[in-house]
Structure 1
């Protein structure tokens, strides 16, 4: 329920308690780091707000009236409670400043975040990080619901309720098994043919699949939908069907020769990876530092 207009800020009550404890306005002024005139003005304002006389002033000093002593007893409870509230909030701020909840798409979580988190630990060694990994749609939901302080997504579109900053760039790569008929095609595979080819694909809601749908248009029904990049690579290596995956995710397999990259013509498969957070709520603390470190690495800084 709304407080009475007679309930004023606790600062004047705190001054009143100091006058009562120290026995003079001068000593109370010294304790609060203000002038004696400022203390006197605060007490007069408090008396005016309450409609009672709190202090008796005389050449021998200042003491509480009987009413003032009663008000001071009540005020002490409120001031103590306010101090406890401030101490509690301060502990929450300290906890929040040392805790970071991150949600990231599978590609970012597996291939980029480890390096970013190592850099963050070097900058803020006391920060405790918890990481959850989903597809990009679920990452955005986590950030919007307050389950994550910052998210990293790879989808082509960011919900209007989120602010975003590009932190990395990636290229999707068409990969096939070494014995696939597309291996060695000089002209590669054109975008229309790729769109019409059933692929081993990530599930709906993944950033990779959403980007591919936007780049190629309507896609053929997948041969198989999997939520694991590792499982997709294994299926492709077994020659089940081609797949389009992040270049970060297939670098080791391409180097080992267990997968082969096939050029794609007629469509750009370059994409941006972005950090996201609630719109209108500036990033602060470890979340801001993590985004800064990620973006700095994208720009090639050391």
Structure 2
């Protein structure tokens, strides 16, 4: 078998930055270090941080001292204020692209637009965006949701979860244009997301089997899997090499491999090595 890794796969800038900040915090004299929620959506990386003494919490209420690291997806502004009020040291590892989306949401509201967030309602990034909008926003996950929108909106502003697909955004914007006269769109999809999705699509077209490596709780990895399945029915979403099944492959297959933005190089390499070892 031949293995080919997608041109764009694995850690993005935002994830690398967050992990660098977490690593730096881990070297400080303060031994009480926590991430607010998993720092990224990858269980294996989060578990490795746990073994290094960096634990994740679900609420600021769980701790009274130490350092708290804000995860890549960002949090509601009031959470940061609460942490500082408790005397906690705050390290903000929010992805810069997520911060841009938050700023765009605030700008649209100040300009008098009715705000629409294109994304997954329960995703941490979208929850944070809603908070920046003062909950004065509507979440649209897919084009079918447009039928539920109020027709009386005059000025519609749009921001996007950074890991959404361009195709989903285009379909939603097309639907909005058919109903509303004045629309302003900030396309806040991360450029790395677009490149990763495009590279995965191209590789899935020519591969016999496609492996998508990343956390099952990762939105961008799930989206990569959806894209690959559209191109190739023999596409499999796995977290680690241990999930690989020999029955998926034939001896002369071209096996394509891509990975989500939260997938570490060592996890990706273990998958490649495992496939190459199949006889």
Q: Which TM-score applies when normalising by structure 1?
A: 0.27
